[in-house]
Each structure stands twice: as C-alpha cells, then as structure tokens.
Amino acid sequence: MNASGDELAPEVRAILDAARERPGGDTRVSVDARSFPDAVAETAADGRVPVITEVKPTSPTTDGVRDDDPVELAREMVAGGATALSVLTEPDHFGGSTESLQRIREAVDVPVLRKDFVLREEQLDVVESDLVLLIARFVGDDLPDLVEAARKRGFQPLVEVHTRDELVAALAAGADVVGINNRDLGKLEVDLATFEELAPEVPDDVLLVAESGVKTPDDVRRMRNAGADALLVGTAIMDGDVRQNTESLTTST
Ligand SMILES: O=C(O)c1ccccc1NCC(=O)[C@H](O)[C@H](O)COP(=O)(O)O
C-alpha cells in the first residue's frame, strides 16, 4: 500500500511531491517527550474536553494566511485550555516551519505534535516534538518501521487513518494513538460520519483522536459521543480569537 497509485486531489499531490524532496536531518534526534495520554487524562479529570489545537497559518482549503506570531497564538490556545498543540512544519502549502515548532515548544508546557508529511525515517530528525504525525495513506508499507523509528527517538507517533484498511494497518503497526481524519485527503472533502463509522472498530486501549471538520460545540459533542478521547481542531480555532475559540470547544461537555 502506498500513495503513488491513489487518486489524489492536485493540491495533495503537490504536497506529497514537495515532501519527497524535503531533506532529512543529519543527526538522529532524541526526545524527552511530554506525555500526551497523561495530558488527556488530566484535562478529562478537570471536566474539560481534550482538544489539540492547531497552529495552522494557511492550508489548501483556507482563504488567506494568518501571519500573527505563532508563539503568541500558541500561548493564547494554552490559556484557552488546549490539552496539546499541533504545529504545522510544512512550509510550502501550510505556512509552517520547524523554527515555529521549536519556539512554541520552548514557550509552552503542553505536548506538541509535529504536523507534517513525513515519508522517510531521516525526516524525523529535523526537529524535536512530543508527538509526530504519520499518515497511514502516505507512508504505506513503511508504517511499522516508521512507528518503531519514531519511538526509538522518543516521539509518540500519532498514526492518522481515514479508511478501515488504514485503521487495520495502523493497529497492526502497534499504533496506540490513532487519529481518524474526517478529511478525505484524496478529494479534500470533510465528513464527520467518517469518525462515527470507524471509531467502534478501535480497541479501548488505543487513544483515539477525531481530526478535521470540527467547528462547533455540537460537533465536539458528536465526536465525543462517537468515542473520541480527544479532538484535533485547526481551522475553527484559527478563525478569529483563538483563545475564545479554544475555550468554547474545550468547555463543550
Ligand atoms: O486542511 C487542509 O486544507 C489540508 C489539505 C490537504 C492535506 C491536509 C490538510 N489538512 C490536514 C489536517 O489534517 C488538518 O489540518 C487538521 O486535521 C485540522 O483540520 P481542520 O480542523 O478541519 O482545519
């Protein structure tokens, strides 16, 4: 299984072409990661909804670029109750950077996810983070090796899936943090029913994250009722006052 034969939206094809060209690091990183499961448990014990808020300056499906200081945005998200942060490091289509991630991780004490399109082991070595995203659809048969390589460096891999086959592959690779992406990266269409369909097939000991398309408190409740331990939200947080937006979703019980 790999991305090359898939039907992909042109924007996603361009993202993958750029990711293939991006170099890796020279030296293997070693991370002392902040525990994501502990952060989720603490938020839930507080009676709030665990939300990973995303510092997402732009994207192929967003109009314009939000060019505020990413560290300020991150601090506001944490003040609003974010359990963890997702930081885009993809530079060409999402306005992200490894420098932003480094600065944000220094400025906050919550776990930080590196959001990028990692395809090869050496691409894990460009920056430290607490979690790293591995997209099952794009890494294909390399998923088990990349999960192991990520863990050897101290990262907590968040394995993203969109289909039943990808979920089976993620579980076979030993993923214990799984994100079900409601966005079909082939067509860039979003449907919250994706999470509802796949979530019942995820074992209880896997930490389950609902990704993409969550905009309102009703969406939060819908994903939580379907079994989400945590949510990953980008666009709806970045649109306006990020602190207020974060507060609104983390208190939607
Ligand atoms: O968000 C996009 O436009 C996008 C386009 C092409 C590939 C990936 C894309 N997004 C990646 C994500 O998974 C989202 O940034 C993340 O789940 C947050 O989604 P949302 O809350 O809908 O912004």
Spatial distance between the Cα atoms of 78 and 69, rounded to a whole number of angstroms:
15
Q: Could you tell me if the CB of 57 is within 6 A of ligand 1?
A: no
CA of 148 to the centre of ligand 1 (A): 25
CA of 212 to the centre of ligand 1 (A): 6
Q: Could you tell me if the CB of 235 is within 6 A of ligand 1?
A: yes
Spatial distance between the Cα atoms of 26 and 127, rounded to a whole number of angstroms:
11
ipTM: 0.98
pLDDT at 3 over 80: no
Please check whether residue 27 lies inside any domain of the structure: no
Please check whether residue 29 lies inside any domain of the structure: no
Express each pLDDT in 13-56 by its tens digit.
999 999 999 999 999 999 999 999 999 999 999 999 999 999 99
Please check whether residue 201 lies inside any domain of the structure: yes
Q: What is the mean pLDDT of residues 236-253?
A: 96
Please check whether residue 28 lies inside any domain of the structure: no
Please check whether residue 93 lies inside any domain of the structure: yes
CATH number at residue 115: 3.20.20.70
Q: What is the mean pLDDT of residues 216-244?
A: 98
pLDDT at 242 over 50: yes
Q: What is the mean pLDDT of residues 80-92?
A: 98
pLDDT at 212 over 80: yes
Tally of domains within the chain: 1
Range of the domain at 209: 5-22+34-250
Please check whether residue 226 lies inside any domain of the structure: yes
pLDDT at 198 over 90: yes
Confidence bin at 8 (pLDDT 50/70/90): very high
**Residue 2, token pair as written in the block:** 């790999």
Express each pLDDT in 115-168 by its tens digit.
999 999 999 999 999 999 999 999 999 999 999 999 999 999 999 999 999 999
**Residue 171, token pair as written in the block:** 């579980």
Location of structure tokens 């019980």? 253
